[in-house]
Structure 1
């Protein structure tokens, strides 16, 4: 009985002693003078969907930081090593700061940080601009298994993103999306998400120059799509050759995405999509005409079989798609059902951006298009030509 009472008293002492909050005390038990500045990052699940949480950075008056990890659903009795690493989670990197392990019973960890592991001083403000991420591992014996992970500092995602469609190409049943997500440093997390990929496969992926119909060289290599999940994630801040590329650049880039069947069969494309300025372009284009103007006298055609041709008659095929790349300031280009100036005769069926002076006028020739149409400047009668429609 005496031993039980003694054990109870000792246990009560440790329970009482552990009730202090890390918000109020440092590791020596003295009060911590927080400034009130706080930054919270998300730690997403990795190997176990139920385990996720947050990393809270609290600024101390001396410029240092208390890093608090809080995970949900950690198994009791566990002890989970945690670190701040260099680079983004997708790229991977060495350990920058070792954090106190997360207690599986509480899901909590608290660490005072004023320097990197190599002794380099680091302040709260510098951590908020740090090129890094946090890993929480399964155990000291299994560091390869990550239970929670999140980008921090300049790698934090802003929530701004752009999603493009990846359409089925040479293999039936595979399609999806490619998402461009902005980081605070304006670099980009590119995520491909495909449905219908066969298990066990690995599908190379790239961003190419030009639109899909024209074709072009690889300008960004992306991580292969995992056939089991249909997912690929790639951190992108530069093009092939080393030129920098930002998230904003991807909104206006002249490019498309290819996902291939395998390294051994790059010719077979399982999914494809135009991005940037080509977003609304169809994947297959019969011809592209580049159009400028010779004063008020004529439209000048290049491409599609023409070289500096002024006001040529052109022949288009029903069911095919044609692009008119416009650079004709002051001379709106209209596809018309009747020949003449103005806008009342504009032919709208299958035409995108009719009347443009810059950018792309796209004509997906409908199956019921009339045998004869015309193109005409809105203002100048002599800037005109005939469009012959054939089957």
Structure 2
């Protein structure tokens, strides 16, 4: 008598992702020559059950998508009421002191009050005791929002709903997220994907109401950018470049070593037969004792010594002589108006900052310009 143990494939599925996997198991059988009566009924039922399970393929369960996180709830205008500052303080005092709200309820309240945080300095959640102390020291402002349910619990039942203007201003200060989150459906076709992205653009209502702090910031930045110090320009002593006062460097005449530039100028005087070439412009000196260096010329200075010739310096063969007094202090717009030719070129900056690399694109077109029409 011979016995055998055939292999049977059983299909299983993952309860998390629903993928079907096939596994090979070994099923024990009885002697092929054994009589059916010799097999116990219980064992026979077990063998039949294994065989039936081997032949049956389980269907994967449908995948159930988890709900989105509710850590950042959305806010609408309806549940909030319009209260005075004294009424807001009374509602907060009732909820914190009288009714003894839980820590979870206090954390949810903090999101609707200005200048408060639910986290400690170590970025941990505050407990109920710390939240009660913080609410005890808090005084409500115009931006603080009170729910209608909170006002009713405190005994204020006839409070009107908050206006849309006040709610929008409070939302900007508290950085609340209003409305429901839009779900962007992934599209296979790029044209459909672009159309879906255009449809999901949220258009904010006009006009946008700014807080007083944002208005003050805009006015302050405008005054700083249009101040005399921001608009003032200095002429570089070694290349003649006009640069903002905040970007130039001042070097004393006695401390800066310009020996390298003097040697280059001496060679230029002999080579070009121009004895009037100078190392620097004397008119650009401040009180005849201080050099003015632009950021490009300052790159060639190390430990108050010129280590190399600046690219646009007079000592590099770019001396044009003394500039007349009428043309010495012209602005950029005035220089463009009296120019005899006008050059156009497409320039773009690769790196940001004063030393960012520039690049040109396309052709340079030089057109004649009649300056007499501007005079």
TM exceeding 0.5? no
Higher fraction of strand: 1
- Normalising by structure 2, we get a TM-score of 0.23
- Normalising by structure 1, we get a TM-score of 0.22
Higher fraction of helix: 2
